[in-house]
Amino acid sequence: MTHLPRARALTLGAATALALAACSTTDPNQAGTAAGSGSGSAAGSGEVQTGNGVTDAEIRIGMLTDLSGPFAAGAAVQVTETKAYWDQVNAAGGVCDRDVAVDVQDHGYDPQKAVTLYRSMAPDVIALQQVLGGPTSAAVLPLAEQDDVYVGGVGWAGSALQYANNQLPGASYAIEGANAIDHLVDGLGVAEGARIGVVYFAGDYGADVLAGAEHAAEERGVEIVAQEITSATTDLSAQASALAQAGVAGVVLGAAPTQLASLAGSLASQGVDVPLIGMNPTFNPSLLTTPARDALLANTYSITSVAPYSSDAEGVKAANELYAQADPDGALGWEVPLAYVQGELLKQALQGACDSGDLTPEGVVAALRESSSVDTQGLLPDGLDYSQVGQSPTTTVYLSKVDADAPAGLALVDELSGPSAESFSYGG
């Protein structure tokens, strides 16, 4: 840039003065209409007040997902299932006499893209069914909270619970971690005083798992041996030998499928035969084609907040059938029931907002927070309580065992709600 010439500086000043002269600080909307909520307008059909993303014929919802980054493949499954779900809802008459349209955008796991796409989407949608990914949802959630926009599907990290506008699908990671310890003690015979390894990703996901496990360890009188890794760590032999050295009686893993296979294989190769429990996103059926197959089949479990693909609950069956129709060649996995139940939860919130005559973003958040006992036909544990901001909506999780014969490689063992999961409380 050149030296700012005086003439330009003067013009700049003049322009600023002009702009200031054109200012106004009285809101014509506030003065004109009845005390509405923000941008809401009382026009529209019947008695229902509507706001962003709602017309007489349509309700528009958003989905910010990762179709080009590290979670692209699983995210694509969720997009397919979500679209199929809302098509089904629309075919059955829609919500509040309106069709529901889904606006899908790809943030590629980049917070900058996520924030910008949120800005472009927010004025046109009533709620966000999903903002996928830790860093991306962490960037969007506070903005959405300011705008009072419902945000679902941000994963299960406890750090998201502080936002009143967030819907967490099932138990948070800390609850999963606490249940894992409870199950190791109660179900798998780990003795008091024993050591349990926790291998976890740096970040909100891993830290939450660790927090839950540490709480449970204190309650149950076991000792935690923690090992922090990152998603770039694909060879866990160093961690495995550290755990072997510590003589652990069980391992809890808060990471991703690559790490599960590497850890299971490395532990087995070092002759460590202890149960390994992975959290929600750590299992992927394609792991059963890797050299770690035998190790995984031997002694590996998965704890999930959503019912596994192989569950025979009514809701899960419906979800799977819908997906099989939408994409006969699609990849199976926990994403299918998850996407379905995300749609189901949002539908219930939209319906609640409609019933209370406030089909606005604020109305949807309010409807979510008024629901203290949500049932989802076995997709999530019954009786989800969303009325407590800051706490996990449930303490129940699903325990599955890796099983080559089960669909998507996981056979449901049981629903668990252990004592230390129930005594866990955020900020307490």
Partner 1 sequence: MSELRGNPWPRRVGGLVLVLVALALPLALSDFWLQTGLFVMAAAIGAVGLTLLVGVAGQLSLGHAAFAAIGAYVYAWSTGEATSTVGGAGLPPLAGLVLAAVVSALVGAAFSPVAGRLRGIYLGLATLGLVFVVRHLLVNLDQWTGGFTGRSVESFALGGFSFSNSDPDYLAVAGVEFEGLHRLWYLFLVLALAACWLAGNLRSGRTGRAWANVRDSETAAAAMGIGVARAKASVFVVSSAYAGVAGAMLALAYGRVAPDVFSLTASVDFLVMIVLGGLGSVGGAVVGALFVTALPLVLAEYSGSLPFLAAPGSGGLDPSTASRIVYGLAIIAVLLFLRGGLAGAARRLRHGSAPGAPPSAPGPTPHDPLSTHDVGRPAGGPARSKETTP
Partner 2 sequence: MTYFLAQVLNGLSYGLVLSLIAAGFAIVFTSTGVLNFAHGSVVLLGAYLVAVLHPTLGFWPSLLVGMAGSALVGVAINALLVRHLADQNAGTAAILMLGVDIVLLTELTRRIGNQVLTLGAPWGASVVRFGDVSLPTGRVVAAGVTVVAFAGLWYLFARTDLGVGMRAAAADGPTASLMGIRLTRTAATGWALAGVLAAVAGVFLTSFPAPGVAPTVALSAFAAIPAWVLGGFDSVPGAVVGGLVIGLTSALVTGYEGDLERFVGTGFGEVAPYVVMIVVLLVRPSGLLGSKEAVRV
Compose the 70-89 pattern: x for residues touching partner 2 by CB under 8 A, - for all others.
Answer: xxxxx---------------
DSSP state of 384: B
Question: Residue 237: which of partner 1, partner 2, none does it interact with, CB under 5 to 8 A by kind?
Answer: partner 2
DSSP state of 208: H
Please answer whether residues 301 and 276 qualify as being in contact, where contact means their C-beta atoms are separated by less than 8 angstroms.
yes
Question: Residue 116: which of partner 2, partner 1, none does it interact with, CB under 5 to 8 A by kind?
Answer: partner 1
Residue with tokens 């098509």: 87
Q: Residue 82 corresponds to which amino acid?
A: T
Q: Looking at 68-76, 122-130, 148-156, 410-418, which segment touches partner 2 (CB under 8 A)?
A: 68-76
Q: Is the four-CA dihedral 69, 71, 72, 75 of positive or negative sign? A: negative
* Minimum distance, C-beta of residue 123 to partner 1, in the bound complex (Å): 7
Binder of partner 2 out of 5, 271, 427, 428 (CB under 8 A): 271
Binder of partner 2 out of 287, 318, 364, 402 (CB under 8 A): 287
What residues contact 31, with CB distance under 8 A and at least 6 apart? none
Binder of partner 2 out of 56, 235, 314, 382 (CB under 8 A): 235
Residue 225, interface with partner 2 (CB under 8 A)? yes
Q: Read off φ and ψ for residue 142, nearest 5 degrees.
A: -65, -35
Please answer whether residues 334 and 309 qualify as being in contact, where contact means their C-beta atoms are separated by less than 8 angstroms.
yes
Is 120 exposed, middle or buried, given 0-12, 13-18 or 19+ CB atoms closer than 10 A? exposed
Residue 237, interface with partner 2 (CB under 8 A)? yes
Site for partner 1, rule CB under 8 A = 1-5, 8, 11-12, 15, 19, 22-27, 30, 67-68, 72-73, 75-77, 79-80, 104-108, 110-113, 115-117, 119-120, 122-123, 135, 138-139, 142-143, 146, 159, 202-204, 207, 327, 330
Residue with tokens 């990914």: 133
CB atoms within 10 A of CB 273: 11
Binder of partner 2 out of 134, 152, 265, 308 (CB under 8 A): 265
DSSP state of 332: P
* Minimum distance, C-beta of residue 318 to partner 1, in the bound complex (Å): 20
* Minimum distance, C-beta of residue 265 to partner 1, in the bound complex (Å): 28
- Encoded tokens for 361: 């973003």
C-alpha pair distances (Å), 340 with each of 9, 35, 198, 297, 316: 58, 37, 31, 28, 8
* Minimum distance, C-beta of residue 256 to partner 2, in the bound complex (Å): 9
Binder of partner 2 out of 227, 302, 391, 395 (CB under 8 A): 227
Please answer whether residues 254 and 205 qualify as being in contact, where contact means their C-beta atoms are separated by less than 8 angstroms.
yes
* Minimum distance, C-beta of residue 116 to partner 1, in the bound complex (Å): 5
* Minimum distance, C-beta of residue 258 to partner 2, in the bound complex (Å): 5
Residue 242, interface with partner 2 (CB under 8 A)? yes
Cα separation, 213 vs 362, in Å, equals 35
C-alpha pair distances (Å), 41 with each of 60, 213, 316, 425: 16, 48, 38, 39
Please answer whether residues 122 and 52 qualify as being in contact, where contact means their C-beta atoms are separated by less than 8 angstroms.
yes
Binder of partner 2 out of 115, 188, 331, 411 (CB under 8 A): 331
* Minimum distance, C-beta of residue 135 to partner 1, in the bound complex (Å): 4
* Minimum distance, C-beta of residue 334 to partner 2, in the bound complex (Å): 12
C-alpha pair distances (Å), 63 with each of 130, 143, 270: 5, 15, 44
Nearer to partner 1, 145 or 415 (CB): 145
- Contacting residues toward partner 2, per CB under 8 A: 68, 70-74, 202, 225-242, 245-246, 257-258, 260-262, 265-266, 268-271, 284, 286-287, 289-292, 294-295, 331
